[in-house]
Amino acid sequence: MQYNNKNIVLAELIGLKAKIIKCKDKNKEGIEGKVIDETKNTLVLDTKKGIKRIAKNRAVFKFYVGNKSFTVKGEEILFRPFERTEKALKYYKLRRLID
């Protein structure tokens, strides 16, 4: 899949590098690592300081794909991975396509 700013909310996130750029729990801001698992409500990151589970609805994430990055509000991906394609379409339609 060719990732872009619109389809990132529909795409597979496991394997991508991610960083928490904003979080209601200020201690989690700045955490970065590789997404190794995902549930409906959380992303699991493998970081330099170990495995961290982050609540999606409490954070804004930046995902890195090659030399591009995409900022995503947790509420936009607050679905089970296999349901995201169907249920996240409303967020897909609201996002702008940028290069």
CATH code of residue 23: 2.30.30.210
Domain carrying residue 58: 7-94
Within a domain: residue 78? yes
| Number of domains present in the structure of the chain | 1
Within a domain: residue 2? no
Q: Report the C-alpha gap between 60 and 63 in whole angstroms.
A: 10
pTM (whole model) above 0.75? yes
Q: Report the C-alpha gap between 28 and 14 in whole angstroms.
A: 19
Within a domain: residue 21? yes
Per-residue pLDDT of the chain (99 residues), as tens digits, is 688 888 898 889 999 999 999 999 999 999 999 999 999 999 999 999 999 999 999 999 999 999 999 999 999 999 888 887 777 777 888 887 765
Within a domain: residue 1? no
